[in-house]
Structure 1
Amino acid sequence: MQEEKLKKILRELEEINATLKSKALERAIENVKIALHGEKVGSEGFEHSYIRSKLIERIGGNVYVESEQTGLSKLGFRPDLVMIKDDEVIIAEIETDKSRALKKMRKVAKLMDRLKSHPIVANRRLKVIFALSKWDDRILDFAKRCGFEVLLFEGGDLRKP
């Protein structure tokens, strides 16, 4: 109930600010987003940061955020999260835009063989998860064909499609 009120207030503030372009309103919008999604991490948006924290909470294990230290960036992309849990390496991508989600899925699909042979994956199973806040059937079908797990962000939580 309170979350819906905050979302309504956020929409109203954003509509007003589209016309006024006020620094004070921008700060108010940021504060409402913090109330809804928590603090922003790095250059990503509030929703992205909130989804990241939900994924970490849900999966656990050893977590590398924006996994530069894993060396995977040398393959041509830097996953949002790399989690090592037991005998499994989980690469997680968080997308808040449908077109970027599909583009990223295509890129990761092309890199799967190289990912599987990367030292961090040695002697472990590889799982790729896409956490999405916006999607359509085409994206979900593509993910399924590639063997990616998908989690959908709705109502402040992650769920399977």
Structure 2
Amino acid sequence: MQETIKRIEKIIYELEEINKNLDSREIRDAIENLKIFLYSKKIGNESFLHSYVRDKLLKKFKGSAYIESKELKLNLNFRPDIVFLNKDELIIVEIETDKRRCLKKMEKIFKNLDKVYSLPISTNRKVRIIFVTERDEKILRKAKFYNFEVLDIYEEGK
């Protein structure tokens, strides 16, 4: 069984390498289905990629993590996918697989930044807003304008 898993992981890697040049939706779907088969983690209505990237980010960033915090939605007018809190930083992460929704969400968060900064957990901490999405010129320009960070969803999903 372990040999089969290694073989499938190798196939996933090879498909990802091939798709760097092709950028095929069908190949991305095949990769996603193989990852679902291997890791079988999918949360609710979210895509596997969304759930998978969230798990990867939880391991990447250190500190306390709040996932889909309903309490924060009341204060911020949006519900972050992940909120990381450590000694020096408050990191709000949005994972968005759709470019248009990403742009709209950036606007919404920007309009509510005053609420983010007024949270008691923001006191004496650097606030970082990170969007994990597909790299796109419009998204990168808007993120730079709003002083948000962008991570490539496919890089984070590796």
Partner of 1:148: 148
Residues 86-136 of structure 1: CA deviation (Å, up to 9, x unaligned): 22110000000100000000101111111101122123221111011x241
- Name which of 7, 12, 20 aligns with 1:3: 12
Tell me the percent identity: 44
Can you give the 5+ residue segments of structure 2 that lack an aligned partner in the other structure?
A: 1-9, 20-24
After TM superposition, the score normalised by the length of structure 1 is: 0.74
Residues 57-81 of structure 1: CA deviation (Å, up to 9, x unaligned): 111211111122xx32012110000
TM-superposed deviation, 1:154? 2.4
- Name which of 46, 58, 61 aligns with 1:59: 61
Partner of 2:111: 110
Task: Choose between structure 1 and 2: higher helix proportion.
Answer: 2
Task: Kindly report structure 1 stretches of 4+ aligned residues shifted beyond 6 Å.
Answer: 5-8
Correspondence list, 1:76-91, <5 A:
76-91=77-92
Q: Distance in 1 between matches of 2:117 and 2:155?
A: 34
For residue 43 of structure 1, give the secondary structure of its aligned residue in structure 2.
Answer: coil
- Name which of 39, 42, 45 aligns with 1:43: 45
Aligned residues: 140
Can you give the 5+ residue segments of structure 1 that lack an aligned partner in the other structure?
A: 16-28
After TM superposition, the score normalised by the length of structure 2 is: 0.75
Q: Distance in 2 between matches of 1:101 and 1:138?
A: 10
Q: Distance in 2 between matches of 1:135 and 1:110?
A: 23
Task: Choose between structure 1 and 2: higher strand proportion.
Answer: 1
TM-superposed deviation, 1:155? 5.1
Q: Distance in 2 between matches of 1:106 and 1:48?
A: 20
| Cα pair 2:57 2:156 within 8 Å, conserved | no
| Cα pair 1:40 1:49 within 8 Å, conserved | yes
For residue 130 of structure 1, give the secondary structure of its aligned residue in structure 2.
Answer: strand
Q: Distance in 1 between matches of 2:137 and 2:94?
A: 18
Q: Distance in 1 between matches of 2:39 and 2:157?
A: 11
For residue 154 of structure 1, give the secondary structure of its aligned residue in structure 2.
Answer: helix
Q: Distance in 2 between matches of 1:30 and 1:130?
A: 20
Q: Distance in 2 between matches of 1:111 and 1:37?
A: 36
Aligned pair in 2 of structure 1 residues 81, 2: CA closer, same or farther (>3 Å)?
same
